[in-house]
Amino acid sequence: MLSSLVAVAAVVAIVAGLLVLFGTRGDDSKADEPAGASPKPSAKPSSGPSTVGASVPKPSSKPTTEETSAPPPPPESTKPPSTAPTETTQPTQTTQTTQPPKPTQPVTIPAEERPAIEVYNNTPRKGLADTVASRARQAGWTVSGSPDNWHGKVAESTVYYPPGMLDAANQLAHDLGIGRTKGALDNMKKDRLTVILTSDYSG
C-alpha cells in the first residue's frame, strides 16, 4: 500500500513539473516581443463613411453671372411674293329693266255726252283733216263744220279743250292717236274740242 501512494505522488510531481515548465516558456515568449511594437492594422475595411468623398468639390450653387442670350429670331423669308393675280369675286348686279309707265286709260264718256269737235290741218298734206275727221266719226264723235286748214304755227298735233272738258279731250286724243292736250286758245270756240294736226301726226 505504501508503494502505491509513492507511485501516485511521483506521478503528481511529474505532472506539476511539466506544467511549471510549459508555463515558464509561455511567459518567456511574450517577453521576447519588442515593447514598442504596435498592433498590426486590421485589413478589414472600415464600415464608416469614406473621407475621400468629402474632398470632392461640390458644384457651386451661385448662379452664373453670364446672361442667357435669347435665341436669334428666325431669318425673314426672302421668297418673292406670288405674282399670281388674286381672283376677286364681284357681286352679281341684277339689272332691272325699268318699264315705262303705261298711259292712263281715259275715262270713257258715252257718245251722247261727248262734245262736238272741229278738225284742222296745219300741214302741207292735203286731205289730212278729212281723214282724221272720218276716223273720229267712226269712234263715236260728232264732227262739227267742214275740216279746214289752220293758219298759224303749232308745235305738234294737239287736242285743245275749253274749261271742264279735259276728260273728253283725253279720250279724243287717245282715239285719234294724238299725244298732247292743251287748254283752248282765245280764238277757239268754248263749247267744243278743237283738233289741230301737224307734220308729226302719223295717223
Beta bridge partners of 149: 121
The answer, yes or no, to whether residue 46 has pLDDT greater than 50, is no
Cα dist. 4→15, 16, 18, 23, 55 in Å?
Answer: 17, 19, 21, 29, 80
Tens-digit pLDDT profile for residues 58-93: 544 444 444 445 555 655 555 555 555 555 555 555
- Quick one: pLDDT at residue 52? 41
Which cell numbers in the block locate residue 47? Answer: 464600415
Pairwise CA distance, residues 176 & 135, whole Å? 7
In the chain, the amino acid numbered 17 is G
Please state whether the predicted TM-score (pTM) of the whole model is above 0.75: no
Q: Closest Cα to residue 177, out of 139, 145, 149, 148?
A: 139
Percent of the residues in the chain that have a pLDDT greater than 70, as a whole number:
56
- Quick one: pLDDT at residue 168? 96
- Quick one: pLDDT at residue 200? 94
Neighbouring C-beta atoms of residue 125, cutoff 10 Å: 13
The answer, yes or no, to whether residue 153 has pLDDT greater than 60, is yes
Which cell numbers in the block locate residue 145? Answer: 263744220
Contact 166/181 with Cβ under 8 angstroms?
yes
Average pLDDT over residues 51-59: 45
Of 150 and 16, the structure prediction assigns the larger pLDDT to: 150
Of 82 and 140, the structure prediction assigns the larger pLDDT to: 140
